[in-house]
């Protein structure tokens, strides 16, 4: 009697584990392949190259800041830049800010500047 009870408990437990694994696998497949939403890659849409010709990559924060106009304030190490109007990632979308943004490698670490092309 006890042997029969243990076998049934083990079978029910195993069946329960298999059902949970199948359910989680189904949710994962749905989330990755069918529910794309507005942003399938999970990355925000970058501003157009016409609006933001230069990108500044802040290595320490792994983030991009885009601008169309900037100046190098100091060529010495650490370098300092001043962005005149910039695009920043806020809440998963890039939004334009009209003000000036000073960037200093002393505070932000290495900054990589590159010109964007279409």
User: Does this model's pTM top 0.75?
Assistant: no
Mean pLDDT of the chain: 85
Residues 71 and 111 in one domain: yes
On whether the CB atoms of residues 65 and 44 are closer than 8 A, the answer is no
On whether the CB atoms of residues 103 and 56 are closer than 8 A, the answer is yes
Q: How many domains does the chain have?
A: 2
Residue 3: give the domain boundaries: 1-35
Region 27-49 average pLDDT:
68
Residues 60 and 8 in one domain: no
Residues 64 and 100 in one domain: yes
Residues 61 and 22 in one domain: no
What does the pLDDT look like over 75-99, one tens digit per residue? 888 899 999 999 988 877 888 999 9
What does the pLDDT look like over 58-76, one tens digit per residue? 999 888 999 999 999 988 8
Decide if 49 is inside a domain. Answer: no
- Residue spans of beta strands (DSSP E) within the chain: 54-58, 63-67, 70-74, 80-90, 93-104, 111-115
Decide if 47 is inside a domain. Answer: no
**Helix, strand and coil in the chain, % to nearest 5:** 30, 35, 30
- C-alpha 54/C-alpha 50 separation (Å) is 10
* Cα 43–chain centre separation: 5
Decide if 48 is inside a domain. Answer: no
On whether the CB atoms of residues 46 and 66 are closer than 8 A, the answer is yes
Residues 58 and 109 in one domain: yes
């Amino acid at each position: 009697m006890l042997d029969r009870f243990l076998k049934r408990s083990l079978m029910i437990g195993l069946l329960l584990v298999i059902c949970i694994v199948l359910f989680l696998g189904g949710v994962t497949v749905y989330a990755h392949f069918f529910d794309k939403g507005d942003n399938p890659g999970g990355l925000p849409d970058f501003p157009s190259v016409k609006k933001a010709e230069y990108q500044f990559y802040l290595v320490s924060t792994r983030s991009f800041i885009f601008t169309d106009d900037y100046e190098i304030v100091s060529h010495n190490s650490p370098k300092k830049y001043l962005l005149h109007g910039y695009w920043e990632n806020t809440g998963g979308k890039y939004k334009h800010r009209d003000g000036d943004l000073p960037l200093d490698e002393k505070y932000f670490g290495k900054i990589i500047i590159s010109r964007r092309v279409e």
